[in-house]
Amino acid sequence: MNVLERMAAPEDEPPSGACVRVERPERGLAILRLAPPHRRTAVFDRPLLRDLELALAELERDTQLTALVLTGREPLDFVAGADIDAIRSLASAELATELARFGQSLFERLARLRMRKIAAVGGPVPGGAFELSLACDAIVLADHPRSRIGLPETRLGILPGWGGCQRLPRRVGVPSALAAILSGKLYPPREARALGLVDRLCAPQDLVRIASDIAMGRERDPRRSRGARGWLVDRNPLALAVISATARKNLRAQTKGRYPAPERALELIVRAPSTPLARGLESEARALGELAVGPVCKSLVFLFQASEAQKKLARRSDGSEARSISRAGVVGAGVMGGAIAGLFAERVGIVRLCDLSRAALDAAQVAHAARVEKARRKRIVEPYEARRSIDRLETSTAIDGLARAELVLEAVAERLDVKRAVLAQAAAQVSPDAILATNTSSLSVTEIADGLPNPARVVGMHFFNPVHAMPLVEIVRGRETSDEVIAATAKLALALGKTPIVVADVPGFLVNRVLGPYLDEAVRMLELGVPHEAIERAARDFGLPMGPLELLDEVGLDIASHAAASLAAGYGARMQSSPLAARLAAAGLRGKKGGGGFFRYAQDPRSGRPRKLDWNPAADAQLARRATMAIDAELVRDRLVLALVNEAARCLEERVVASAEELDLATVFGMGFPPFLGGALRYVHARGTAEVVTRLEELAALPDVRQRDGARERFDPAPLLRSLART
């Protein structure tokens, strides 16, 4: 039984030969078109691989051919890479290695065809689709905003295993291949051309014609020679040793050794130019086999699929697309409101930003222009796109000019009366079906909607700070919010490049509610005498991007104490927090934005942003802690993490979010739970639910926990965890 027979067959598997067509438009030229009838977007599933093998066998027999063009169903529809379901289902390293060898052999058959081979590709060309293109003599890419090309496999915990780690270094050189593969970036057309990933750009409608002319010799060969550079670097052991050591050092700083795929890829890429192709491919296949069945790959593939599944939220219950929003208003030009408005102008359309303060509006415009200019300098956007993004952001010192807005979002002070008044002003100007959204992080969307005309159109759209970096948006369903509004808001979040999660209108919603016990336990341990270094180190060693005290500074101690009060009011003693954050805020220590909180900050002259310096002695004045206690790193970690995990389980029990998959996705995308662990509930499963329950019971019995009102309830295992532990 070969590897294809061991792969899962789709329910609607097409007949043999239906997925790949060989067309012969003129003498000597064939067009190999990948167009599977059973998928809207082609992936390398069993039927496509089967039919590609059949088509290559046909081409090998045709001695009249001198040229071949490899393309997709449409100019902007090639192949979306490997079948992610197949990767997730791989259960043995042997099967994964065999699948890698099969793909390599297939692409090698293409490379050895005795004819001029040109890949004519467009739209997304990730992973295996790019590796297939690399087996051709030249690559022509459609010059279109939808086109992206690269090798993103390391983001899934694996590496390019169908020849990418061998062919890309030979094409662009070791340094460029390292940058492309280790980052997992998908490059836009101009950047891809500059790096040598592709050889020619053209308009989508000309893609096959130009590729055919190159293949037939009617246009000159666009492939650029690397000349002496290839020998000076790629074949120079000293240069490669320096490049390898530098890349490994940078990689370790980024991954902390938790993600094995980039390090395995680095070894293969550096050795590729001096290794015979057959031997390099075999090493690549074995590495892929080991990585594909590892826990990191399984977690990252899970998160990718969970994120992709959220795209369904942009559809109505009948499957039709929700309405699109192209014009919006944002009220409040603070850090959040200004960033949300800028993101809308960059990604979607015209936005009017309103604030009483001209200084705040000016600051928002300057920040927006700086972001756009940075993207232009990096060739992420074209000059005309940069000018358009800047022109799309309008400002006003009054709440006016919103008549044509299809959505108005408020990002003003966290006061119920202020938010209601702002949305009432907006409602008086916009059409009856325009959406009224609130970026509240702690107030009830239902209460905000009370008294507004047509409360069915009021929805929470909770972004996280920093807006451009954080991938999650919580779509908060109020009591009256309609399904149509939920779908349209989720569609807008996707257009903004975010992942939407629909959550119930409960105090703290999902992410802030789960974060509450975690952050408070950090402060409680600090008050007990645990050194701040031990607390921060425990979180970072677990895999979180920053420690909880630094996170409190990032959020703002004034905002954090306000959110904590909201959680305590909603959930009682279990969420009762230490008053320390409020005391620090009252003393003027508001966190990063104010120059100091638990830590001190200073303006970085290069980036212009605050940079953490060291512990803030002023915080100790508000901290009546006991003598420094002995440190148990495991105990510190568990008090932080299991407080979070236990609250996450309660959220699932109470249907704050629809599924465990969405909850795990929210913990990773919204609060930085380690991606290599796959989310809070997957962590419980991996550690063992019975062990987690036992450990929670031990934490609940700690002397300081027993003495604190509500703290024992915080660590009392959620009924869901007890039930799972029993089964």
- Examine residue 631 and state whether it is found in any structural domain, yes or no: yes
Q: Which residue among 469, 504, 539 closes a domain? A: 504
pLDDT of residue 204: 97
Q: Which residue among 453, 483, 504 closes a domain? A: 504
Average pLDDT for residues 237-241, to the nearest whole number?
Answer: 85
Q: Does residue 197 share a domain with residue 102?
A: yes
Q: Which residue among 461, 486, 504 closes a domain? A: 504
pLDDT surpassing 90 at residue 281: yes
CA–CA dist 66, 89 (Å, integer): 40
pLDDT surpassing 70 at residue 627: no
pLDDT of residue 60: 96
pLDDT of residue 345: 97
Q: Does residue 345 share a domain with residue 471?
A: yes
685 tagged catalytic = no
pLDDT of residue 622: 81
- Examine residue 171 and state whether it is found in any structural domain, yes or no: yes
pLDDT-derived band at 378, boundaries 50, 70, 90: confident
> Which of 176, 193, 149 lies closest to 230 in space, CA to CA?
176
| CATH assignment of the domain containing 554 | 1.10.1040.50
| CATH assignment of the domain containing 443 | 3.40.50.720
> pLDDT digit string (tens) for 297-317?
999 999 999 999 999 999 998
Burial 660-678 (b: 16+ CB within 10 A, else e): bbbbbbbbbbbbbbbbbbb
Q: Does residue 104 share a domain with residue 26?
A: yes
pLDDT surpassing 90 at residue 523: yes
Q: Does residue 73 share a domain with residue 193?
A: yes
pTM over 0.85: yes
- Examine residue 375 and state whether it is found in any structural domain, yes or no: yes
Task: Provide the percentage of residues in the chain whose pLDDT is more than 70.
Answer: 98
Q: Does residue 192 share a domain with residue 90?
A: yes
Domain holding 571, by residue range, is 511-656+688-726
Q: Does residue 251 share a domain with residue 358?
A: no
pLDDT of residue 63: 92
pLDDT of residue 626: 56
> Which of 367, 369, 500 lies closest to 437 in space, CA to CA?
500
Q: Does residue 289 share a domain with residue 144?
A: yes
Q: Does residue 465 share a domain with residue 429?
A: yes
> pLDDT digit string (tens) for 657-672?
999 999 999 999 999 9
Catalytic-role residue among 462, 532, 562, 685: 462
Instruction: Report the range of poorest mean pLDDT among 72-76, 267-271, 526-530.
Output: 526-530
pLDDT surpassing 90 at residue 337: yes
Record the tokens describing residue 664, joined without a space. Answer: 């795990």
Task: Provide the percentage of residues in the chain whose pLDDT is more than 90.
Answer: 82
Q: Number of structural domains, the chain? A: 3
pLDDT-derived band at 594, boundaries 50, 70, 90: confident
> Which of 567, 573, 530, 606 lies closest to 712 in space, CA to CA?
573
| CATH assignment of the domain containing 86 | 3.90.226.10
- Examine residue 306 and state whether it is found in any structural domain, yes or no: no
Alpha-carbon dihedral sign for residues 109, 111, 114, 118:
positive
pLDDT surpassing 90 at residue 609: no
Q: Does residue 353 share a domain with residue 204?
A: no
Q: Does residue 212 share a domain with residue 99?
A: yes
- Examine residue 661 and state whether it is found in any structural domain, yes or no: no
CA–CA dist 202, 76 (Å, integer): 12
pLDDT of residue 704: 87
3-state SS assignment for residue 290: helix
Q: Does residue 543 share a domain with residue 484?
A: no
- Examine residue 666 and state whether it is found in any structural domain, yes or no: no
Q: Does residue 266 share a domain with residue 192?
A: yes
Average pLDDT for residues 679-686, to the nearest whole number?
Answer: 97
- Examine residue 378 and state whether it is found in any structural domain, yes or no: yes
- Examine residue 679 and state whether it is found in any structural domain, yes or no: no
